[in-house]
Amino acid sequence: MTNVGCDQIAQVIQKDEKIILEQWGSYQLSSFTMRRDLISENEVKQESRKFLQLFSGALQNNKNDKLTGNEWDDVRVLLADVSLSRAKKGFSPSDTATFIFSLKQPLFNIARENFKDIAILAEVLWNITVILDKLGLYTTEVYQKGREEIISRQQQEMLELSTPVVQLWEGILALPMIGTLDSSRTQVVMESLLQEIVDTGATIAILDITGVPTVDTLVAQHLLKTVAAARLMGADCIISGIRPQIAQTIVHLGVDLTSVITKATLADAFLVALERTKQKIVKVAV
Amino acid sequence: MTNVALVLPIQSSEDIVIARQKVRELAIKAGFNVVNQTKFITAASELARNTLDYGGGGYLTFEELINGNKKGLKLVFEDQGPGIDNIQLAMTDGYTTGKGLGLGLTGAKRLVNEFDLWTEVGKGTRISIIQWT
Ligand SMILES: Nc1ncnc2c1ncn2[C@@H]1O[C@H](COP(=O)(O)OP(=O)(O)O)[C@@H](O)[C@H]1O
Ligand SMILES: [Mg+2]
């Protein structure tokens, strides 16, 4: 890639900026992946104008075809911003890359207008292709990282969301567990339960596993550990929500739950808990 | 008749979650009843966890089987880890070299219709399980 090529492209971009923006804008907005529901036309236009300015500036100073020089810093920062904000809005990676790839056609158009020498035109088109492909790839890499961060944050949030300890009655706690009980989740479950036992002075805790799809030996071991730890804090546990298929599976696995009170439903467990705490719910005669 | 459906990596805890979901999906598709589904998924969960924890990661291959009017699902867990040097001991209830309950291998065997274990010290471990409708 010659610098002359890049420099000349930069000049025509600056000269024909208006035409390019118009064409690019309509390509982006008409692209069938364009999510009009997720982003406004105005936002697209602003991002485009800013990008084109930084892009032609970087082209003018371009030193190598790897786009690693600091003349590309501003472009990369802007692209990272665009990718991350689109990832957050729920765009797919291809939607995000379309931002860059849809610039190809307008740039080809103005190149054909401005470079009549066929050899120069060929070089210019090649340069544009190489550079835009690299930048497009860059947006998808940033996008990927952005999604991963969002997903891992959501998982963290789920950790806390899905393990609420609720006080059912005086001295009775319930822990409705939902989802996969992997080791980091059970750690959180156990800690929040023990804390609540201390805070409320509860003597019974109901661990409800209705929402846990698979109870394998690891999950069983976590449950048994939680029960043992609660016992040390002075609270007995009842495991409820054991569906028939789970009960059969536990028996085949050979896991011994005989040291723990188990009940089919949370309601059954609640009755046992009331009895244990010498409490009673009565129907009021009217 | 067999038909290799797909291969999944078992390299992280997330992979185990994904593997379980795939087993559930294929078990439902094959027409397993809820008890059989749950048994098979649980066995798969045990073996996948062993592949990751003891085998250092590996692969899970799914095969859909048809025998007359019965449908089946075959899962093969493979790793190139240290292998198991005493199979008899490993296949004893309560035996663990880690911190588990030592019920994964024996439990999985009890939960499925067919269980086959191949292992060689220094080479790896391959366990296949089959469940029929
Ligand atoms: N894929 C494997 N590679 C090497 N060793 C294994 C493998 N799977 C199981 N083992 C050995 O067999 C033992 C018993 O396994 P398992 O019954 O699942 O119990 P646990 O997982 O609780 O240890 C393990 O502790 C381990 O030593
Ligand atoms: Mg195990």
The domain that holds A93 is classified in CATH as 1.10.490.130
Residue A281 resides in a domain? no
Structural domain of residue A153, as residue ranges? 3-158
CB contact under 8 A, B45 and A214: yes
Q: How far is CA B48 from the centre of its chain?
A: 6
CA distance A194 to A182: 18
pLDDT (0 to 100) of residue A27: 84
Same-domain status, A17 and A120:
yes
Per-residue pLDDT of chain B (133 residues; tens, 9 = 90+): 455 568 889 998 888 888 998 899 899 999 999 999 999 999 999 999 999 999 999 999 999 999 999 999 999 999 999 999 999 999 999 999 999 999 999 999 999 999 999 999 999 999 999 999 9
Same-domain status, A170 and A153:
no
Packed helices A3-15 and A17-30: angle between N→C axes, nearest 10 degrees: 90
Per-residue pLDDT of chain A (286 residues; tens, 9 = 90+): 555 578 888 999 999 999 999 999 888 877 756 666 777 888 888 889 999 999 999 988 887 767 777 888 899 889 888 888 887 777 877 777 888 888 988 999 999 899 888 888 888 888 888 888 888 888 888 877 777 777 776 666 665 556 678 888 999 999 988 777 766 677 787 888 999 999 999 999 999 998 888 999 999 999 999 999 999 999 999 999 999 999 999 999 999 999 999 999 999 999 999 999 998 888 888 7
Q: Which of B96, B111, B117, B126 to mutate to test the pocket of ligand 1 (most atoms within 8 A of CB)?
A: B96
- Cβ of residue B17 closer than 8 Å to a chain A Cβ: yes
Structure tokens at A263: 């009940």
pLDDT (0 to 100) of residue A197: 95
Distance from the B39 Cα atom to the nearest Cα atom in chain A, whole angstroms: 6
Instruction: Pick the atom of ligand 1 nearest to B97's CA.
Output: 25
| Nearest ligand, CA B51 | 1
How far is ligand 2, taken at its centre, from the CA of residue B123, in Å? 19
Same-domain status, A204 and A84:
no
pTM over 0.80: no
Residue A139 resides in a domain? yes
Instruction: Classify burial at A30, counting beta carbons within 10 Å of its beta carbon; exposed 0-12, middle 13-18, buried 19 or more.
Output: exposed
CB contact under 8 A, B111 and A253: yes
Please tell me the residue having the least CA distance from ligand 1 atom 11.
B90
- Cβ of residue B42 closer than 8 Å to a chain A Cβ: yes
- Cβ of residue B101 closer than 8 Å to a chain A Cβ: yes
Partners of B76 in beta bridges: B61, B128
Same-domain status, A82 and A115:
yes
Sign of CA dihedral B103, B105, B106, B109: positive
pLDDT (0 to 100) of residue A43: 84
Pairing of strands B70-79, B114-120: unpaired
- Cβ of residue A246 closer than 8 Å to a chain B Cβ: yes
pLDDT (0 to 100) of residue A157: 62
Query: Which residues in chain B are closer than 8 Å to A255, comparing Cβ atoms?
Result: 101, 103, 107
- Cβ of residue A154 closer than 8 Å to a chain B Cβ: no
Query: Which residues in chain A are closer than 8 Å to B106, comparing Cβ atoms?
Result: 254
Query: Which residues in chain B are closer than 8 Å to A246, comparing Cβ atoms?
Result: 38
Distance from the A182 Cα atom to the nearest Cα atom in chain B, whole angstroms: 8
Residue A269 resides in a domain? yes
Which residue of chain A has the CA closest to B108? A253
Query: How would you label A40-49 residue by residue, b for 16+ Cβ within 10 Å and e otherwise?
Result: eeeebbebbb
Same-domain status, A151 and A174:
no
Q: Which of B77, B103, B105 to mutate to test the pocket of ligand 1 (most atoms within 8 A of CB)?
A: B105
Q: Domain count of chain A? A: 2
> Which of A139, A158, A177 is the last residue before a domain boundary?
A158
Q: By C-alpha distance, which of A102, A104, A39, A50 is closest to A75?
A: A50
Query: How would you label A99-121 residue by residue, b for 16+ Cβ within 10 Å and e otherwise?
Result: bbbbbbebbeebbeebbeeeebe
Q: By C-alpha distance, which of A147, A161, A173, A171 is closest to A211?
A: A161
Same-domain status, A28 and A135:
yes
Contact A208, A173 (CB under 8 A): no
Ion ligand 2, residues whose Cβ is below 5 A away: B 50, 100, 104
Please tell me the residue having the least CA distance from ligand 1 atom 24.
B96
Query: How would you label A162-199 residue by residue, b for 16+ Cβ within 10 Å and e otherwise?
Result: bbebeebeebbbbbbbbebbbeebbeebbeebbebbee
| Nearest ligand, CA B49 | 2
> Which of A120, A136, A158 is the last residue before a domain boundary?
A158
Contacts of A271 (CB under 8 A, 6+ apart): none
State the complex-level ipTM: 0.94
Query: Which residues in chain A are closer than 8 Å to B42, comparing Cβ atoms?
Result: 214-216, 249, 253
Same-domain status, A25 and A115:
yes
Question: In this structure, what CATH number is given to the domain that contains residue A198?
Answer: 3.30.750.24
Distance from the B99 Cα atom to the nearest Cα atom in chain A, whole angstroms: 10
Q: Which residues have CB under 6 Å of ligand 1? A: B 46, 50-51, 54-55, 79, 81-84, 90, 95-98, 100-106, 125
Structural domain of residue B111, as residue ranges? 2-132
Same-domain status, A65 and A25:
yes
CB contact under 8 A, A248 and B38: yes
CA distance A262 to A269: 8
pLDDT (0 to 100) of residue B105: 98
Q: Domain count of chain B? A: 1
CA dist list (Å): A15 to A21, A102, A114: 12, 20, 10
Residue A170 resides in a domain? yes
pLDDT (0 to 100) of residue B103: 98
Same-domain status, A84 and A217:
no
pLDDT (0 to 100) of residue A148: 74
Work out the widest C-alpha separation in chain B, in whole angstroms. Answer: 43
Q: How far is CA A228 from the centre of its chain?
A: 35
Same-domain status, A64 and A47:
yes
Contact A252, A270 (CB under 8 A): no
Same-domain status, A148 and A7:
yes
Sign of CA dihedral A12, A18, A23, A26: positive
Task: Read off the DSSP letter of residue A162.
Answer: T
Question: In this structure, what CATH number is given to the domain that contains residue B91?
Answer: 3.30.565.10
Same-domain status, A181 and A49:
no
CA angle B63, B68, B71 (to 5 degrees): 35
> Which of A158, A181, A196 is the last residue before a domain boundary?
A158
